[in-house]
Every structure is written in C-alpha cells, then in structure tokens.
Amino acid sequence: MSTKYIATPSKTKEILKKYAFAFKKSLGQNFIIDVNILQNILKHAGVDKDSGVIEIGPGIGALTEQLAIHADKVVAFEIDQRLLPILDDTLEAYSNIEIIHQDILEADVTEVIREQFKENQPIRIVANLPYYITTPILLKLLHDRLPVESITVMIQKEVAERMAAEPNSKSYGSLTIAIQYYTDAEVVMNVPKTVFNPQPNVDSGILKLELRKEPPVYVEDEDFFFRIVKASFAQRRKTLRNNLANLFTDMNKTEIQEVMDQAGIDGGRRGESLNMEEFAQLANVFYKEINR
C-alpha cells in the first residue's frame, strides 16, 4: 500500500520528473519522503476523523495526502503557483482537500476557518514549515488568536528547542516567552535531514503547541510586556539593569533599580534566569510606574 503514497523516494522523484519541477531555494522547499514520519506527526498532532486541519505549504502533497486520509477536511495554503497543477494531480483521489493559493502571512485565517469548516469543529494546524519564515508564521497564527486546538509543525530543530526551552538554558530567550505566553510548547520528535528531498543542512524537530485558553500570567499591557522581555535579552551577557537602561533612556540606573526592587527582582540577574511570572511582575510594576 505505502508504495502508492506520495511520500516515498521513488514516487516523489517520479512527480518531480513528470513536471520538471525545480526547487526554489527562496521558498525553502524540502519535501518529505518518509510515510512513517508523516504518520507519527499526525499521531502527535491528534488528528482524527472529526478534525478539520489547516496545512501551510503542502508542496507536492505528501503530508496533505496523509491528513486527507485521517482527517475530516484539509485546507492547505500554497504560495507557489507552480505547485497548484501538481497538487491537482497528486491529490485527485481525495475529495476532502481545499487548496488556497495565498501567502499565509496575508491570509485571514479566521475567516477561512469560518467558511471551510463545520461549526464548533476541532481545528488543528499541521505543517512542514519553511525554515526561513517559521517564526513570523507562528507568531502571526498566535497573535490572530485563532479558534484552533493545537499547532504541530516540523521546523528547524534548534528553533523548536528555543520555543520549548526552560529558564536558565542557552536556548531560552524572548522567542520562548512569546510562544509560551500563548501555548504549552513541547518538542515531541526529532527528524533527521535524510528524510527530505532535497536534504536540508540541519535536522528538524516536531514542535507541538497546545493553545492556552488564557495566558499563564496577568499583564497590564501585552505590547509593553513583550517590549520588556525583548529588551531583557537584547544583550544576553548584560544584567537586566543594564539592558533595561537601554529601553528606559529617560530613567537613570538608580531609578531603574528602585522599580526593580518594587518588583522584587534583583537587577544584577540576567534575562535568561527569569521565568514568565517574574517577567510579568517586572513589566506590570514598570508599566504602573511609567503611567502614574
């Protein structure tokens, strides 16, 4: 059976040859040629016959096909016009797939969910994301506060580790906080570069993000909170006090230290030592101080 699947080396080769398809490096195109990996991704993503699934960058349809077999309906966003006729051909046997020719960064995904899926249907996002644009895509999906249960993506292993990192680790940074503010993040699987055509230079990780109903901390102002977090990691080797002095240029270091004392945070610490609760406390005290 599996020899008929798109995600095999021979079938992928056959499709690429038939359409004389040339990979565009600028679009980060790497197609998966291992069915077992795809089926594992689906298991981790919790895709079942009730699920509506959004995919980003279906390529020649390897993951799309597996999603169509296991889910109720699949809606895939593809930016590369050259792939549209290929997808029409490779996915012809499946009636539960909708391909949308649009850049996901410009799409109104909430509207697409409303139009394409049943009311109250559990929606999951599952994708093999291009490395070069992983972070902007994920942050857009999270900022849009989509009505989805989870996002399971194959991304560069190092980036996956950063998004799921714990405090006091080398991977922990402002991106970690941004992702974990909206989701519970976990790297559920590592994927070797050998299962792609063409092979990328690095290994991949499968990151599963379970969407939170509410953020884990209360913040007075989200934008302000994220500015504090970003500033705290601006120069990793600098203390919090020094990094925040670059953000609050109209305050001297003594004034900054006084606000930090109110927040109960030692200004000599580094950003990577603070957990999210401490960042929220710091941001809220500074916010009140500045808006007095």
Return binding residues: 30, 32, 57, 78, 103, 128
Tell me how long the chain is: 292
Binding site for S-adenosyl-L-methionine, residues? 30, 32, 57, 78, 103, 128
Q: H or E element: which one contains 73?
A: strand 73-77
Using alpha carbons, select from 151, 72, 163 the residue that is nearest to residue 109: 151
117 neighbors 58 (Cβ within 8 angstroms): no
Say if CB 70 and CB 97 are below 8 A apart: no
Q: Answer whether 161's CB lies under 8 Å from 187's CB.
A: yes
Radius of gyration of the chain from Cα atoms?
22
The owner of tokens 């996915």 is 91
Reply yes or no: is the peptide bond before residue 200 cis, omega within 30 of 0: no
Beta carbons within 8 Å of 114's beta carbon, 6+ residues apart: none
CB burial string 264-274: b at 16+ within 10 A, e below: ebebeebbbeb
Would you call 220 exposed, middle or buried from its count of C-beta atoms within 10 A (0-12, 13-18, 19+)? middle
CA dist., res. 277 & res. 275, Å (int)? 6
Dist CA 59 CA 154 (whole Å): 14
